[in-house]
Chains A and B, each alone.
Chain A
Amino acid sequence: MSFKVAAAPHGHSQKKTNQVMAWVVFALIPGVIIQSYFFGWGVWFQILIAVTVAYLSESICVWARERSARQALRDNTALVTAVLLAISIPPLAPWWIIVIGTLFSIVVVKQVYGGMGQNIFNPAMAGYVLLLISFPVQMTHWLPAAPIAPYDLGLWQTLHTIIFEYTPTGYDVEQLRTTVDGMSMATPLDGVKTALDQGKILTEAYQQPMLGSLAGIGWQWLNLGFLLGGIILLQQRIIRWHIPVGFLAGLLVPSFLAHMFAPSIMPGPIFHALSGATMLGAFFIATDPVSAATSDRGRLLFGLLIGLLIWVIRTWGGYPDAVAFAVLLANLCVPIIDRYTRPTVYGHHSGAKHDAE
């Protein structure tokens, strides 16, 4: 009788890559629910389109590369990329926006570089930046959050707007953003930035209608939702603390110091923490292991760099939010971070040699 041959070790801790990815999607659920509460049904349609396009395009690419498509789809990485991109864009963005973004993320950023595990850049963020630069109007048309929104779109109206770019009653997205007094409503980050650029002080900027008790109406809860998801990931040991802590420290410490020195023109840490894509970025986007640094120290540094870049761009840059840019810039630095944060191997500590002599 001959027996099965296998390589050691013969046991395995029962957490697999596909399960890790599934957990990431699972942990996004609280945030997505909050987003759909404040910003309408759009996010669900965006996710649906993105996932469909991602699976189709990934299948075709993997098939063209003569690999098993079934296995490639089973690892759930395309699912994570699609969902992250879909929740990053304005929920009412036309359908071709998410299609182009997803195609770019999956085909160019991921598969062209060799598929899962090989991409240099975070696929979702590279797709987001492509869209932001190519279609700035569609990509910045966020509706005001539900409590202050002039219109309330139903399921059908939302779908109609995504497909035809206007509601069944003929409003386009620009009109939907406009309040009764003829002002178009910006996101809190954008609003505060514009006000400050106009020479107003922070207290004036905070008096705009889209700002809530902590940061922006809706946005603050959205960020808290993603923070909750992040805590789930940490607790399940899907991600480790180094990147989120580095990220938040890099963003909040400078904003705190700046706020102390110039309280009238520098938004404080709470505003930064609960605005834009801060929490989504800290726990779900920067933590993509493939495009992040590998060692613990490296990850702390990687997170710090992203946080700092976000604060710099938000404060002085041309864009209101900067998570995607910051992540891509940090992705570029990963090889050098990895090179200089390599931990000392057993028996190579200088003390070890000294003692032996």
Chain B
Amino acid sequence: MQDIKQFVESGQIARFPGGIHPPERKQPASEQPLRRVPYADELILPLRQHIGLSGQCTVRVGERVLKGQPLTDAALHQGLPLHAPTSGTVKAIEQRPMSHASGLPEQAIVITPDGEDKWRERQPRPDYQQRDKAELLDIIQAAGVAGLGGAGFPTSQKLAQQKPVSYLIINGVECEPYICADDRLMREHARDIVLGMRILAYITGTDKTLLAIEDNKPEAIDSMRVAIAEYDDIELRIVPTKYPSGGEKQLIQLLTGHEVPSKQLPIEMGIIMQNVGTAFAVKEAVIDDKPLIERVVTLTGECIEQPGNVWSPLGTPVDALLEYAGFKPEQQQRVIMGGPMMGFTLPITAVPVIKTTNCILVPSTRELPPPGDEMACIRCGACAEVCPATLQPQQLQWLAKAKDYPALEENNLFDCIECGACAFVCPSEIPLVHYYRQAKSQMRNQAREQAKAELAKKRFEARQARLEREKEERLERHRKAAEARKQMQQQQAQEASEQPSDNDGKSSAVAAAIARAKAKKAAQEDGSSTPAQPADAEPEQKSKKSAAVAAAIERAKAKKAAQQTARESDVEAESPATEQQRPAQDKSAAVAAAIARAKKKKQAREQQTSDDRASQSPDQEDKQ
């Protein structure tokens, strides 16, 4: 911690290993001022926009909505609400293709704008400093603000960490080629961004904010420098241009000289990072009471006539944006959502802009030639040379192809940030990241399946133990009953021998003698070494005794096992002692017990599902 402070105070910029310098190609788009695209005929708002749960729909088909009106209910603090980007009517709530590489349909709210663009009632709050931090977090959450730089993690959730924050880093690096949405925003809205930074600093309670910008954006640097001039606690850090210096982990390494420990979040180092776009959205949410209903999208590529950045309402279909910018598709056209390094191709363009859409790239095959045939890996190590995480991409590739998941785990596949630098330089044109993603998702599935199987096994074992216990208890009851019967018989025999009848003669006398001897022996069951034992009776006697001891041990064992399972799994409700004592005939008690058991089982099942949910969350963190 002290080291980090020392490094940051010195104002140095560290370097991170690897990285590449692909052609930047930000030029034509970055020089055009921000434009506002007209509302499309319909706005498509998928319920799930980002990491986290999707909220519950709160509007009905045919309902009139006002601009900024919430359309969904945030599911607790895990999710974020959606808002109407403009006034209009809810046309449909139905399955629409997703803004995803698959283009698979997902539930979405479709709104037909009415052209009036009528706002709901708004309450601007210029006095944010008079408000409680918790209230501000609620405002940010209710405004649906998500991280606009990456995977769209709910901003309020990131800020709500109950840990001390020493540095707030505002990421204006925007290192991916072509994309210049943040660049443009910084040039034109520097003051608003700085206000957002102030709000974020206030909420996190940090007294130092670092604003990082790559040195290929001199205009943005100038305009931000002017905007932050009056604040002593904001420092501008200009980082050299290299991809992927805007990655969260890489930027932290650049600014602090330290790595984020594997499987930990920056907050553990006392660092929170937010994108400049997010800072802007926070300012609008808090001060202007404007929820996140639009964002800057870069429209670029050689197949567009008017490249530039636009304010796009969320839900605007990509084809509407492309039409607006003059799209001239060529043969084998690719439409990429995101940048050339990490973006994904869209199979269809009838998908909407969502909170995480920062760029629509329609390259010509001349500027971004499609990949050639994959050749065999020659272990040249070019990938390892550029990997910012110092992984061994070639090794991971072999292992991913061999589906050797334990070895992939050991080689730290999950520390891969999927920046694509390795695949960019691979001379054999192996789509490395593609293999890693596949392996990662298979490994996650496997872990999930394994957890499920583990639980099922536990449940099964608990049931087996219960059945076994019940069986033993039954046997024990039978044995006791038999013993009692025997004792009764012996008593009767004794009584009979005390009053010998003459009819039976000698044989009956002998029988009585044997019975007496047996009874005597039974009475002496504890004292084992009676010398005058009849030979024929001995084995029976011994086996009975050892059986009794065995049974006692068994009983104790069963009891212990039962207690243990009851403690461990909570699936078994009954303690063996009560069951043993309970008369079997008592029907009502048995019914009550059964109900209790069923309840416990249900509870256990609920707990299991919540466990499942919990076990999914690491993936989500991964994507941050």
Contact = CB atoms under 8 A, between A and B. Distances in A.
A17 B376 CA distance: 9
B415 A347 contact: yes
B22 A11 contact: yes
A128 B262 CA distance: 47
A264 interface: no
A10 B368 contact: yes
Interface string A67-86: 00001000101000000000
B261 A71 contact: no
A3 B350 CA distance: 11
B370 A4 contact: yes
A199 interface: no
B1 interface: yes
A294 B381 contact: yes
Contacts of A133: none
Contact of B384 (A16, A115, A295): A295
Given A13-B425, A17-B428, A294-B381, A8 B342 contact: yes
Given A294-B392, A346-B249, A16 B427 contact: yes
Interface string A207-231: 0000000000000000000000000
B379 A19 contact: no
A3 B378 CA distance: 32
Given A7-B433, A13-B425, A355-B258, A294 B420 contact: no
A116 B376 contact: yes
Contacts of A9: 340-342, 420, 423-424, 433
B375 to A, nearest CB: 5
A4 B334 contact: yes
Contacts of B262: 345-348, 352
Contacts of B80: none
A350 B261 CA distance: 9
Contacts, number: 185
Contact of B269 (A15, A16, A356): A356
A77 B428 CA distance: 12
Contacts of A13: 20, 22, 424-425
Interface in A103-156: 115-118
A200 B425 CA distance: 54
A20 interface: yes
A343 interface: yes
A77 B378 contact: yes
Contact of A115 (B3, B340, B376, B415): B376
B13 interface: no
Contacts of B268: 356
B261 A352 contact: yes
Contact of B427 (A19, A118, A348): A19
A342 B268 CA distance: 27
Contact of B380 (A20, A342, A346, A356): A20
B377 interface: yes
B371 A6 contact: yes
A170 interface: no
Interface in A317-352: 338, 342-349, 351-352
Contact of B332 (A4, A77, A342): A4
A253 B25 CA distance: 48
A7 B433 CA distance: 8
A189 interface: no
Contacts of A115: 376
A292 interface: yes
What bracket does the count of chain A residues touching chain B fall in?
Answer: 35 or more
B418 to A, nearest CB: 8
B121 to A, nearest CB: 42
B377 A352 contact: no
Contacts of B411: 342
B379 A117 contact: yes
B456 to A, nearest CB: 34
A118 B372 CA distance: 21
A168 interface: no
Given A2-B348, A5-B345, A7-B433, A294 B428 contact: no
Nearest to B418: A8
B348 A3 contact: yes
A103 to B, nearest CB: 21
Interface in B235-271: 249, 253, 258-264, 268-269
Contacts of A117: 376-379, 428
Q: Tell me which of A10, A19, A77, A115 has the highest count of chain B C-beta atoms within 10 A of its own C-beta.
A: A10
Contacts of B381: 240, 289, 294-296, 299
B311 to A, nearest CB: 25
Interface in A133-191: none
B269 to A, nearest CB: 6
Given A345-B412, A346-B389, A353-B261, A8 B378 contact: no
A11 B261 contact: no
Contact of A294 (B259, B269, B395): B395
Contacts of A17: 375, 378, 380, 427-428
B370 A6 contact: yes
B467 interface: no
Nearest to B338: A8
B428 A346 contact: no
9 contacts: A7-B434, A13-B425, A16-B427, A77-B378, A345-B390, A346-B260, A347-B261, A347-B264, A352-B259
Interface of B: 1, 3-4, 20, 22-23, 101, 177, 249, 253, 258-264, 268-269, 329, 332-336, 338, 340-349, 361, 363, 368-373, 375-381, 384-385, 388-392, 394-395, 411-412, 415, 420, 423-429, 431, 433-434
Q: Which 5 A-B pairs have the closest CB atoms?
A: A347-B262, A9-B420, A117-B376, A346-B389, A7-B434
